[in-house]
Structures are given as structure tokens and as C-alpha cells.
Amino acid sequence: MVFGLGKGKAGSGHPELTVQELDAMLRSGTAAVVDVREADEFAAGHIPGAINMPLSTFQPSALPDTPGKKLVLACLGGKRSAMALDKCGMAEAAVDTHLAGGFGAWQSAGLPVER
């Protein structure tokens, strides 16, 4: 798996942010993260400030309103967040971006983890 490609990974067709780009956006207050992993995975560790909305019950209409912030979806590796983005596309939700490599890449980069 290759991280940091920036725009669209093998077949997902969705814009991606690298962990470095997302970290910078979170630090500047210009992004909010929705983690689509299941509650037990989320509880074991997640990106600080992330909101948990498991893919198993994911509804684009329930996404938080984040004025002035780009909403970015994340999961463990990128597959479930891409599936959630597909649901967002069908629902014509404004969110279209996810984290390249997901939480796994975030942890590998040594970035902060909230439990």
C-alpha cells in the first residue's frame, strides 16, 4: 500500500488527504474528522477530536454540520471510508474526501492518538 498520493487511490476515485495534510488542517482548525470504524475500534484509539459514525449504521444525513471546516472521513486503511463516501455521493452530501491510509497511516506517522 502506498501512502501520500494526495488525490485518489487505486480505484476509490475519491480525493484523499495525506496524514500530514490532515494533521496541518486539524491544527489550523480547518478540518473535522468522522471515523467510520465500529465503536470498539474507535474506543481502542482514534484521531483526536474525531466523531464516530460506524459504517454499519452510517447515514450521510446524520453527518455533523462543520461550518468553515472540511469534513474528512477516516477508517483503518481507507476502504470503509471510501464506501461511506460512495454513500455520501448517492445522497448528494457535500463530503467527498477521506484520509489516505486511514488511522493505520496516522499511527504509523507517530501522530497523536486519543483513547
- 69-92 pLDDT, tens digit each: 999 999 999 999 999 999 999 999
Give pLDDT tens digits for 8-49. Answer: 344 568 999 999 999 999 999 999 999 999 999 999 999 999
Indicate whether 113 belongs to any domain. no
With respect to residue 94, please indicate whether it lies within any of the assigned structural domains.
Answer: yes
CATH of the domain at 89: 3.40.250.10
How many whole angstroms separate alpha carbon 3 and alpha carbon 53? 24
Structural domain containing residue 26: 16-108
Provide the grid cell at 85. 463516501
CA 115 to centroid of chain Cα atoms:
17
Q: In the chain, how many domains are there?
A: 1
1 belongs to a structural domain? no
